[in-house]
Protein backbone atom coordinates (compact mmCIF):
# COMPACT_ATOMS: atom_id res chain seq x y z
CA UNK A 1 0.00 0.00 0.00
CA UNK A 2 1.29 3.46 -0.86
CA UNK A 3 1.80 5.84 2.01
CA UNK A 4 -0.91 8.43 2.58
CA UNK A 5 -0.42 12.01 1.52
CA UNK A 6 -0.42 14.90 3.99
CA UNK A 7 -1.53 18.14 2.36
CA UNK A 8 -0.25 21.26 4.13
CA UNK A 9 -1.69 24.74 3.94
CA UNK A 10 0.56 27.60 5.11
CA UNK A 11 -1.74 30.44 6.17
CA UNK A 12 -3.80 29.21 9.10
CA UNK A 13 -2.12 25.93 10.05
CA UNK A 14 1.53 27.05 9.94
CA UNK A 15 1.09 30.83 9.99
CA UNK A 16 -1.69 31.71 12.47
CA UNK A 17 -2.51 34.92 10.61
CA UNK A 18 -5.80 35.44 12.47
CA UNK A 19 -4.13 35.71 15.89
CA UNK A 20 -4.25 39.13 17.52
CA UNK A 21 -1.89 41.25 15.39
CA UNK A 22 -0.13 42.75 18.39
CA UNK A 23 0.47 39.38 20.08
CA UNK A 24 2.68 36.83 18.40
CA UNK A 25 1.61 33.36 19.56
CA UNK A 26 3.97 31.67 21.99
CA UNK A 27 6.66 29.58 20.30
CA UNK A 28 6.40 31.45 16.99
CA UNK A 29 9.02 33.66 15.34
CA UNK A 30 8.27 36.61 13.07
CA UNK A 31 9.44 36.66 9.46
CA UNK A 32 8.93 39.18 6.67
CA UNK A 33 8.36 37.50 3.31
CA UNK A 34 7.37 38.57 -0.17
CA UNK A 35 6.18 35.48 -2.05
CA UNK A 36 6.32 35.74 -5.83
CA UNK A 37 2.66 34.76 -6.16
CA UNK A 38 1.64 37.56 -3.81
CA UNK A 39 3.82 40.11 -5.61
CA UNK A 40 2.35 39.06 -8.96
CA UNK A 41 -1.12 40.09 -7.78
CA UNK A 42 0.04 43.71 -7.49
CA UNK A 43 0.82 46.12 -10.32
CA UNK A 44 4.54 46.16 -11.18
CA UNK A 45 4.82 49.85 -10.35
CA UNK A 46 3.52 49.22 -6.80
CA UNK A 47 5.76 46.26 -5.91
CA UNK A 48 8.77 48.31 -4.73
CA UNK A 49 6.56 50.06 -2.15
CA UNK A 50 4.96 46.90 -0.79
CA UNK A 51 5.87 45.94 2.73
CA UNK A 52 6.63 42.20 2.92
CA UNK A 53 4.02 40.05 4.62
CA UNK A 54 4.35 39.34 8.32
CA UNK A 55 4.50 35.58 8.76
CA UNK A 56 4.58 33.78 12.10
CA UNK A 57 6.18 30.33 12.06
CA UNK A 58 6.84 27.88 14.88
CA UNK A 59 10.18 26.07 14.40
CA UNK A 60 8.84 23.14 16.47
CA UNK A 61 6.35 22.45 13.67
CA UNK A 62 9.27 21.49 11.44
CA UNK A 63 10.30 18.69 13.81
CA UNK A 64 6.70 17.49 14.08
CA UNK A 65 6.28 17.48 10.30
CA UNK A 66 9.58 15.68 9.77
CA UNK A 67 8.34 13.05 12.22
CA UNK A 68 5.07 12.74 10.28
CA UNK A 69 7.07 12.30 7.07
CA UNK A 70 7.92 8.82 8.38
CA UNK A 71 4.33 7.78 7.63
CA UNK A 72 3.10 10.42 5.15
CA UNK A 73 4.29 11.91 1.88
CA UNK A 74 4.12 15.65 2.59
CA UNK A 75 2.69 17.97 -0.09
CA UNK A 76 2.15 21.74 -0.09
CA UNK A 77 -1.52 22.63 -0.70
CA UNK A 78 -1.22 26.39 -0.36
CA UNK A 79 -1.57 29.54 -2.41
CA UNK A 80 2.13 30.07 -1.61
CA UNK A 81 2.78 27.44 -4.29
CA UNK A 82 6.47 26.83 -4.91
CA UNK A 83 7.30 29.80 -2.67
CA UNK A 84 6.52 27.49 0.25
CA UNK A 85 9.69 25.57 -0.64
CA UNK A 86 11.89 28.66 -0.90
CA UNK A 87 10.47 30.70 2.00
CA UNK A 88 8.63 28.45 4.49
CA UNK A 89 10.49 25.12 4.27
CA UNK A 90 13.94 26.52 5.19
CA UNK A 91 12.57 28.17 8.35
CA UNK A 92 10.96 24.88 9.42
CA UNK A 93 13.86 22.69 8.33
CA UNK A 94 11.81 20.87 5.71
CA UNK A 95 13.09 19.60 2.37
CA UNK A 96 11.53 20.71 -0.89
CA UNK A 97 8.07 19.19 -1.10
CA UNK A 98 5.77 18.55 -4.05
CA UNK A 99 3.21 21.29 -4.62
CA UNK A 100 -0.44 21.10 -5.68
CA UNK A 101 -0.82 23.35 -8.70
CA UNK A 102 -4.05 25.33 -8.77
CA UNK A 103 -5.62 25.69 -12.24
CA UNK A 104 -7.45 28.77 -10.96
CA UNK A 105 -7.00 30.53 -7.64
CA UNK A 106 -10.12 31.25 -5.64
CA UNK A 107 -12.57 29.98 -8.25
CA UNK A 108 -15.89 28.78 -6.83
CA UNK A 109 -15.95 25.20 -5.63
CA UNK A 110 -18.79 22.85 -6.58
CA UNK A 111 -21.62 22.13 -4.16
CA UNK A 112 -20.55 24.82 -1.69
CA UNK A 113 -17.06 23.42 -1.23
CA UNK A 114 -13.85 25.33 -0.56
CA UNK A 115 -12.18 26.24 -3.86
CA UNK A 116 -9.16 23.97 -3.18
CA UNK A 117 -11.14 20.81 -2.44
CA UNK A 118 -11.68 19.41 -5.93
CA UNK A 119 -8.04 20.11 -6.83
CA UNK A 120 -6.70 18.31 -3.75
CA UNK A 121 -9.02 15.40 -4.53
CA UNK A 122 -7.74 15.24 -8.12
CA UNK A 123 -4.13 15.40 -6.91
CA UNK A 124 -4.70 12.55 -4.43
CA UNK A 125 -5.93 10.35 -7.30
CA UNK A 126 -7.48 7.79 -4.95
CA UNK A 127 -4.62 7.65 -2.45
CA UNK A 128 -5.47 7.98 1.23
CA UNK A 129 -4.75 11.47 2.51
CA UNK A 130 -4.96 13.90 5.38
CA UNK A 131 -5.32 17.62 4.75
CA UNK A 132 -4.81 20.47 7.20
CA UNK A 133 -6.38 23.81 6.28
CA UNK A 134 -8.29 26.56 8.05
CA UNK A 135 -11.14 26.73 5.52
CA UNK A 136 -12.47 23.18 5.52
CA UNK A 137 -16.08 22.45 6.40
CA UNK A 138 -18.87 19.90 6.25
CA UNK A 139 -19.51 20.46 2.52
CA UNK A 140 -15.88 19.55 1.79
CA UNK A 141 -16.06 16.40 3.91
CA UNK A 142 -19.29 15.29 2.20
CA UNK A 143 -17.86 16.02 -1.26
CA UNK A 144 -14.71 13.98 -0.56
CA UNK A 145 -16.63 11.12 1.09
CA UNK A 146 -18.86 10.81 -1.99
CA UNK A 147 -16.04 10.96 -4.57
CA UNK A 148 -12.85 9.60 -3.02
CA UNK A 149 -12.32 5.83 -2.84
CA UNK A 150 -9.55 6.04 -0.24
CA UNK A 151 -9.56 7.14 3.37
CA UNK A 152 -9.39 10.88 3.94
CA UNK A 153 -9.04 13.15 6.95
CA UNK A 154 -9.99 16.77 6.32
CA UNK A 155 -8.71 18.46 9.46
CA UNK A 156 -9.68 22.08 10.05
CA UNK A 157 -7.12 24.15 11.97
CA UNK A 158 -8.07 27.37 13.75
CA UNK A 159 -6.23 30.23 12.03
CA UNK A 160 -5.98 32.08 15.35
CA UNK A 161 -3.83 29.32 16.87
CA UNK A 162 -2.20 27.32 14.06
CA UNK A 163 -1.29 23.68 14.45
CA UNK A 164 -1.35 22.47 18.04
CA UNK A 165 -0.28 19.20 19.68
CA UNK A 166 -3.86 17.87 19.39
CA UNK A 167 -3.75 18.43 15.62
CA UNK A 168 -0.50 16.50 15.29
CA UNK A 169 -1.98 13.72 17.46
CA UNK A 170 -5.01 13.50 15.14
CA UNK A 171 -2.72 13.20 12.12
CA UNK A 172 -0.68 10.48 13.81
CA UNK A 173 -3.82 8.58 14.82
CA UNK A 174 -5.19 8.71 11.26
CA UNK A 175 -1.92 7.38 9.80
CA UNK A 176 -1.74 4.57 12.34
CA UNK A 177 -5.38 3.64 11.73
CA UNK A 178 -4.57 3.23 8.02
CA UNK A 179 -1.70 0.86 8.71
CA UNK A 180 -3.46 -1.01 11.50
CA UNK A 181 -0.53 -0.35 13.80
CA UNK A 182 -1.02 0.63 17.40
CA UNK A 183 -1.06 4.35 17.98
CA UNK A 184 2.04 5.46 19.90
CA UNK A 185 1.77 6.99 23.32
CA UNK A 186 2.26 10.75 23.74
CA UNK A 187 6.02 10.45 24.26
CA UNK A 188 6.72 7.63 21.82
CA UNK A 189 8.29 8.39 18.44
CA UNK A 190 6.00 8.02 15.46
CATH of the domain at 174: 3.40.50.1000
**What span, in angstroms and rounded, lies between the C-alpha atoms of 170 and 127?**
19
Residue 183, Cβ neighbours under 10 Å: how many? Answer: 13
Question: What is this structure's pTM?
Answer: 0.89
Report the domain count for the chain: 1
On whether residue 155 sits in a domain, the answer given is yes
Range of the domain at 79: 5-18+58-179
Look at residue 190 and tell me if it is in a domain.
Answer: no
Decide if 163 is inside a domain: yes
Query: Residue 179: what pLDDT?
Result: 82
Q: Is residue 99 part of a domain?
A: yes
In a domain, 38, yes or no: no
pLDDT of residue 185: 44
Report yes or no on 184 lying in a domain: no
Task: For the chain of 190 residues, list the mean pLDDT of each consecutive stretch of 10.
Answer: 92 94 87 85 78 93 97 96 96 97 73 86 96 95 94 97 97 92 46
Amino acid sequence: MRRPLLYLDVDGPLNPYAAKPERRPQGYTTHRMAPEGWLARHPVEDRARLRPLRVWLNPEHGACLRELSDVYDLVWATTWGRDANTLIAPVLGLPDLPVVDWPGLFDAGPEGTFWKTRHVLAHAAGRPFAWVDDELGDADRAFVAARHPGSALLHRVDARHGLRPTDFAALKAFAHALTGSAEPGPDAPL
